[in-house]
Amino acid sequence: MTLAVKSTDRKSPLLHPLPVRIMHWINALAMIIMIGSGWKIYNDEVLFGWLHFPDWMTIGGGPEGALQWHFFAMWLLMINGLCYLVYGFATGRFRRKLMPILVSEFIADAKDALRFKLAHDDITRYNAVQKLLYVGIIVVIVIQVLSGLAVWKPMQFSELAALFYDFQGSRLVHFLGMAAIVGFIVIHVGVALLVPAALKAMFTGGPRVADPKAAEPPPGSVPSEPVA
C-alpha cells in the first residue's frame, strides 16, 4: 500500500515528526533508568519472596543511589510525558493514529499477530492490536505515575493513596504497572527488530505522509479509504 506516499509532496509531514522522535527517545531513556533503579529499590523489601532482581540488572549500586536515580528520572519521565500528552491531543496525532479501535478489526488482527503474520508492510498505519497496545501503554504509564506519587507521598497525597487502598496497595499497583511496561517493551522492541523500517523511522522520521488536514474529506462527501 504505497498510496499514502505517492499522494504526498515534499512539504507533507514525516510519519514521526521531530518532536515525537525526541520525546520517544527521552522516554526510552527515562524508562530504562526508572525500571533499573526501581528494581534495586524493590529488592530492599520484596513484595514476592520468590522474586529478587539480580544486581547486574539494576541501576544505582546501593539503595541510596537507586533512589537518587529514580527521583532524578521521574522528572524526565513526567515532564516529557506531559509534553507528549499535550502534543498528542493538540496536534490530533492520537485521534489520527490511535482511533478508532474496532472490535472486529482487533479480533482479526490479533489472530494474525498470534500466528506471527505481521502485516507491517505499511508502517504508516497501525492495526487494531497496535492501536490498543499504544493506547494501553499510555494509560498504564499515567497510572504508574499516579501510583508512584502515592508511594512517594502517601501522607501529603493521602487521598490519592486511598485510591490504591493504602501504602502497600500503592506499592503493588506500582509493581504491576512496571510489569506491564516491561511486557510492552519486550513486544515493542521485538516487533521493531522484526520490522527494521519501523525502527529506522523512529530515527529518521520515516516516509512523508499526507497532510492530515488535507486528508479529511470535505463535508458531505462520500467517505473514502483513509489515506494516512
Partner 1 sequence: MAIKTPSRSRFRPLQGVDQSILDANKSLIDEIDRRKILRGAVSLGALTMLTGCNVTNQDAVQSVLKAVSSLNDEIQQLIFRPNHLVPTYTEAEVLKPPRFNAYYDVEDIAPVDGAKWKLELAGLVQDKKPWTVAQFAELPEQELIIRHICVEGWDYIGQWSGVNFRQFLERIGADLKAKYVSFRCADDYYGSIDMATALHPQTILATKYAKQPITDPFGFPLRLRTATKLGFKNPKWITAIEVTNTFPGGYWEDRGFNWHSGI
Least distance (Å) between residue 73 CB and partner 1? 9
The CB-side HSE value for 165 (13 A sphere, CA atoms) comes to 7
User: Is 35 or 228 the residue whose CB approaches partner 1 more closely?
Assistant: 35
Least distance (Å) between residue 26 CB and partner 1? 10
Beta-carbon contacts of residue 101 (< 8 Å; ≥ 6 apart): 128, 131, 132, 135
Least distance (Å) between residue 24 CB and partner 1? 14
Least distance (Å) between residue 167 CB and partner 1? 5
CB atoms within 10 A of CB 91: 15
User: Is 89 or 165 the residue whose CB approaches partner 1 more closely?
Assistant: 165
- The rounded distance, in Å, linking the Cα atoms of 21 and 203 is 7
* Main-chain dihedrals φ then ψ at residue 172, nearest 5 degrees: -65, -45
Task: Give contact residues for partner 1 (rule: CB under 8 A).
Answer: 29, 41-42, 44-45, 62-65, 67-69, 71-72, 75, 152-156, 158, 162, 166-168, 171
User: Is 17 or 65 the residue whose CB approaches partner 1 more closely?
Assistant: 65
User: Is 41 or 192 the residue whose CB approaches partner 1 more closely?
Assistant: 41
Q: Coil, helix or strand for 208?
A: strand
Q: Coil, helix or strand for 14?
A: strand
